[in-house]
Amino acid sequence: MSVPTDTRTDTSSTSRPGASSGRAGPAGHDHRTARAAARAEARRRRLPLLPALLFVIVCTQVPFLLTIWYSLRSRNLLRPEGDQFVGLQNFADLFIDSTFRTAALNSVLITLGCVAVSVLLGLGLALLLDREFAGRGVVRTLLITPFLIMPVAGAMLWSISLFNPTYGLVNWLIGLIGLGPVDWTSQHPIFSILVALVWQWTPFMMLLLLAGLQSQSKDVLEAASIDGAGPLKTFLFVTLPHLRFYLELSVLLGAIYVVNTFDHIYLMTAGGPGTASANLPFYIYQRAFLGFDIGQSAAMGVVTVIATIVISLLALRLIFRSINSKEQS
């Protein structure tokens, strides 16, 4: 996938020492050699970039072009004879597929829910950690651990152990205050997935936001307190604007990762009950690897990518602007 772009704000190439500059020669061939030299220089500069660029293009763009090709054909691995060009039929089928709509909605719900809750919790924890106290290093270390646990292990820990309806720790805890046992992953599948995801992603948000809080200059905070601003006012009018870049970054990076959530759904609910908790990655996987319906799953992949492009185009511009403005400051 390549996102079209018109950001041609390459100012850096002239500011660095050693940039080739066309020498102003009086004769025409001087000019030509200068141009040839500039071209050679450009080629020399490009050389170290090419292996990485080609590698990524071959591994991501070529398969995606094939996905588009598959999406126009009726290929099904179970029926090898049925492979023919069907135009946009696969896409037309998508729009009457209610499971596809549910999956798309679940994708949005899981991504928004997880990112919003983890950013808020992460902000709270970052504020708690942004002060000196006994054992601060230990608290920080304990708090980041959920993010470091292998996601497959985390998902299974929640679904099999903690959320287990008969011997799970969560049901035992709510039993202490008199609430009946709940079969979490089948009665509240999306909630269960969200809990496991928020548990995993809150430390990530906390780390980024804590870095933001600690990059705040102490002089500004002192000045605010001398000017008579209380802690709340200081937070709202000094800290929060400073954190804006870090908040944007956490939301965007979090969304990029969470929107592709697959492990948790596969292992905790298998998209169930029925298809109630399937998101797009899981539903596409199901159609491709359990239904072997390549044409249909490819069409879903293409639609997902188009939707992602539209959203990420907006998001990427934002991330680019904030990272660039940060570099310049």
Partner 1 sequence: MTAVAETTTAGRTRAGRHAVVGKLLTGLAWFAAFIFFAPVLWMLLTSIKQESDAASSPPSFLFSPTLDQYRAVFTSEAGAYFLNSVIATAVSTLLVLALAVPAAYALSIRPVKRTQDVLFFFISTKMLPVVAVIMPIYVIAGQIRMLDNIVTLIILYTAMNLPIAVWMMRSFFLEVPGEVLEAASMDGASLMLTMRRVLIPMVSPGIAATALICVIFAWNEFFFALNLTAANAATVPIYLMSTMTSEGQFLAQLSAASVLASLPVVLAGWFAQKQLVRGLSMGAVK
Write out the binding residues for partner 1, residues 13-52 only, by CB under 8 A: 13, 16-18, 42, 45-49, 51-52
* Binding to partner 1, residues 145-184 (CB under 8 A): 145-154, 156-158, 160-162, 166-169, 172, 175
d(CA 165, CA 154): 18
Binder among 118, 194, 243, 246 for partner 1 (CB under 8 A) = 246
* Binding to partner 1, residues 202-241 (CB under 8 A): 202-204, 207-208, 210-212, 215
Helix 189-214 crosses helix 240-258 at what angle (to 10 degrees)? Answer: 140
Binding of partner 1 by 285 (CB under 8 A):
yes
Residue with smaller CB distance to partner 1, 113 or 181: 181
Binding of partner 1 by 298 (CB under 8 A):
yes
Query: Which value, in Å, is the radius of gyration of the alpha carbons in the chain?
Result: 26
Q: In the complex, what is the shortest distance from the CB of residue 32 to partner 1, in angstroms, rounded to a whole number?
A: 20
Binding of partner 1 by 289 (CB under 8 A):
yes
Binding of partner 1 by 109 (CB under 8 A):
no
Binder among 123, 243, 263, 269 for partner 1 (CB under 8 A) = 263
Residue 157 CB neighbour total at 10 angstroms: 17
Q: Phi first, then psi: give them for residue 190, nearest 5 degrees.
A: -70, -35
CB 227 within 8 A of CB 284: no
Binding of partner 1 by 112 (CB under 8 A):
no
Binder among 108, 109, 139, 229 for partner 1 (CB under 8 A) = 139
Structure tokens that stand for 73 in this block: 């054909």
Q: Is the alpha carbon torsion for 42, 47, 48, 50 positive or negative?
A: positive
d(CA 232, CA 221): 12
Candidate segments 84-92, 108-116, 268-276, 321-329, binder of partner 1 by CB under 8 A: 321-329
CA angle in degrees (0–180, nearest 5) for 110-116-121: 120
